[in-house]
Chains A and B, each alone.
Chain A
C-alpha cells in the first residue's frame, strides 16, 4: 500500500471514503426506484470510464465501445442460461470474453489510426451487432434474452446495488492505478504524439492493442453489472448509437479527467430519466445540449472547476 501513496492525496482519500460511506448508507433512505437507478448509474459509470481509458488517456478513436459492453453482457447471459454451471463463474468469464473480442477486433483495427481506426471499429462492431441481432437460435435475435438468473445474494435490488457499487468502486480504483502506471503514462504520450512515441522506442500498435484489451475487459464487467440489475440482454446494448451516447458522457464530464466520464454518466442518466417523464423528445434536448457543449465547453464540466494550463486542442494531420 505504501507504494500507492504517491497516487492519492489525503483529500482524494477522504473524499473517496466519504462517498463510499454515503453510497453504502443511501439504500436505507431511498425508494426501490432510486436504488435501481443508482445501480444502473454505477454500471454506466464503469462503462464510460473504461471507454475514457483509451479515448481520453490513449487518444484512440474508440467509436464503438458499447460492443464490448454488450458482448460481456451477452457472454454472461449465454453462459448462465446455457451452461448450467454456477452463475458466479459467469461473472469471471464474461469480462475475459470481452477482452478476447478486444484482442480480435484490436488486431485488425490498431493497424490504422485516428478516423480510419474509429470507422473500422464502428464497422466491425456493427458486424458483431448484426450477428447478435439475427442469430435467433443462439442469442435470441432482436428479442434478446430475458429472465437471466442472478445469484440470490445479489438478486434483490438492494443486493444488486451493493454488488454494483463495490465492483464499480474496485474497478475505478484499478483503472486509476493503470492510468497512472508506466503503461498509462506511455498511453498518454501516444495520445499526445504517436509519432514521437515511435521515435523513443515505443511499439505504439502493441501498446494500443493492450489498451484496447484492458478497456474491453472493464467494459465487459460493466456489461455483467447491467445484467445483474436488468436480468435481460438485448442487441441495443451494442448498437452504435449507444456507443455515441457513451462518448457524449466522456465529453460532457471531461475526457482529460479521470472522473469526468463517470460524472458525465451520472448527469446523462439522471437527466434522461427525469426529462423522460415530461417529454418524449429527450434526444432533441440531448442533441442541443451536445451542440452547445462542443461550442462552449469542449473539455467538459470538470474543466470549469479544475483549470489546467493545457494547450488548446489541435487537429492532427
Chain B
C-alpha cells in the first residue's frame, strides 16, 4: 500500500532522514522505532506532506505522493495524528471530529445549511468508538491530556482513512490510558481493517501490537521485519535496543 524508497530530507545540510525505506502492506500494523532524533516524526511529516522530501519517492497505492500538499495527501486516504496535541482548542469535542467528517464529505464550502444537523451520526459513531461520546459537548481545550491524545486519533478517523499514521499515540499517557489506547488501535486494525503506521517509545506496546517493525537510527532505516526478526537482530540489539531502556521511561 505504501512504499517509501530512498527517502532523503536535509535541513541546511543536516540529513534528518537519510536513505529510508519502508513498506506497509494493506492490513499491517507497522511500528517505527528508534531513539529520539532518529527521524521518525520527520519521516511521517514527509509522508503526509507537511515537509517536502529532498529526494526519494513515496508511493501510496502506486502513486507518487512525495512533495504533495498535506490536504491532497489526506484526500488520497492518509490521515494522521500528532505527537504534540494538535486539535481545535476552542471547538467542542464533537465539532473537532465533525470538521474532519465535513471535510471528507466535501461540505466545507456549504454556507447555508446548519452544521449542527450535518454528519451527526457519523461523528457520534467515531466518538463512541474511541470512548469520548460522553464528553462530546466539552470544549476540547479543557480536556485532560490523555483525552486530547485520543481526540487526536478521532479527528484522524473523521476522514475515513485507508492508512492511519499515529505519531506517538500514547506519549504522556498514564499506564491505564496507554492500555485503553492500545485496545483502541487493536480494534481499529481488527474491526475496521485499518492499516496503521505508528511510532512509539513504549517497547512493550510496540511488540504487543505491531505486525511489522521498522527500526530507524540517525535518519536511516536499519531493518524492517516481524517483531521476532527485529528482536533477534544483532544489529538492532547493538544499535538501538541497548538504549531502549532510557527511551521507554
The finding on whether chains A and B are genuine partners in a shared complex, rather than unrelated, reads: yes
Alpha-carbon separation in the docked complex, A178 to B48 (Å): 31
Q: A202-B71, A308-B139 are in contact. Are A197 and B99 (CB under 8 A)?
A: yes
Contact of B98 among A180, A185, A191, A198 (CB under 8 A): A185
Contact (Cβ within 8 A) A200 B79: yes
Contact (Cβ within 8 A) B116 A310: no
Interface-located stretch among A3-11, A30-38, A75-83: A3-11
Contact (Cβ within 8 A) B70 A314: no
Contact (Cβ within 8 A) A200 B159: yes
Alpha-carbon separation in the docked complex, A33 to B156 (Å): 57
Contact of B112 among A181, A210, A256 (CB under 8 A): A181
Q: A6-B117, A177-B114, A180-B116 are in contact. Are A185 and B71 (CB under 8 A)?
A: no
Chain B, range 138-171, C-beta contacts under 8 Å to A = 138-139, 141-142, 155-156, 158-159
Q: Is B74 an interface residue (CB 8 A)?
A: yes
Chain B, range 14-32, C-beta contacts under 8 Å to A = none
Interface-located stretch among B86-94, B175-183, B191-199, B232-240: B86-94
Q: Is B102 an interface residue (CB 8 A)?
A: yes
Contact (Cβ within 8 A) B88 A189: yes
Alpha-carbon separation in the docked complex, A184 to B111 (Å): 7
Q: A3-B117, A204-B71 are in contact. Are A196 and B95 (CB under 8 A)?
A: no
Q: Is A168 an interface residue (CB 8 A)?
A: no
Number of residues in A with C-beta < 8 Å to the partner? 37
Q: Give the shortest distance, in Å, between B104 (CB) and chain A (any CB).
A: 7
Alpha-carbon separation in the docked complex, A192 to B93 (Å): 13
Chain B residues with CB under 8 Å of A3's CB are 113-114, 117
Q: Is B248 an interface residue (CB 8 A)?
A: no
Alpha-carbon separation in the docked complex, A204 to B107 (Å): 14
Q: Is B118 an interface residue (CB 8 A)?
A: yes
Number of residues in B with C-beta < 8 Å to the partner? 45
Q: Is B80 an interface residue (CB 8 A)?
A: yes
Contact (Cβ within 8 A) B86 A195: yes
Chain A residues with CB under 8 Å of B89's CB are 192-193, 311, 314
Q: Is A201 an interface residue (CB 8 A)?
A: yes
Give the residue name and chain of the B residue nearest to A198 (CB).
B70
Chain B residues with CB under 8 Å of A189's CB are 88, 91, 95-96, 99
Alpha-carbon separation in the docked complex, A256 to B90 (Å): 9
Q: Is A199 an interface residue (CB 8 A)?
A: yes
Chain A residues with CB under 8 Å of B71's CB are 197-204
Chain B residues with CB under 8 Å of A228's CB are none
Chain B residues with CB under 8 Å of A256's CB are 90
Contact (Cβ within 8 A) A201 B74: yes
Q: A7-B116, A188-B91, A201-B75 are in contact. Are A183 and B111 (CB under 8 A)?
A: yes
Give the residue name and chain of the B residue nearest to A192 (CB).
B88
Q: Is B214 an interface residue (CB 8 A)?
A: no
Chain A, range 158-196, C-beta contacts under 8 Å to B = 177-178, 180-186, 188-189, 191-193, 195-196
Q: Give the shortest distance, in Å, between B101 (CB) and chain A (any CB).
A: 9
Contact (Cβ within 8 A) A180 B90: no
Contact (Cβ within 8 A) B112 A199: no
Q: Is B205 an interface residue (CB 8 A)?
A: no
Q: Is A309 an interface residue (CB 8 A)?
A: yes
Could you list 8 A-B pairs, sorted by A, with CB under 8 Å?
A177-B114, A182-B108, A184-B115, A195-B70, A198-B70, A200-B155, A201-B100, A202-B103
Flag B113-147 by CB within 8 Å of A: 1 or 0 each.
11111100000000000000000001101100000
Give the residue name and chain of the B residue nearest to A181 (CB).
B111
Q: Is B211 an interface residue (CB 8 A)?
A: no
Q: A199-B50, A203-B108, A207-B109 are in contact. List 20 more A-B contacts (CB 8 A).
A: A4-B114, A178-B112, A180-B116, A182-B109, A182-B118, A183-B108, A186-B102, A186-B108, A189-B96, A193-B88, A195-B50, A198-B74, A199-B74, A200-B71, A201-B103, A204-B71, A311-B90, A311-B141, A311-B142, A314-B89
Q: Is A262 an interface residue (CB 8 A)?
A: no
Contact of B114 among A7, A192, A203 (CB under 8 A): A7
Alpha-carbon separation in the docked complex, A202 to B80 (Å): 14
Give the residue name and chain of the A residue nearest to B138 (CB).
A309
Contact of B139 among A4, A195, A200, A311 (CB under 8 A): A311
Q: A193-B87, A193-B88, A311-B139 are in contact. Are A185 and B99 (CB under 8 A)?
A: yes
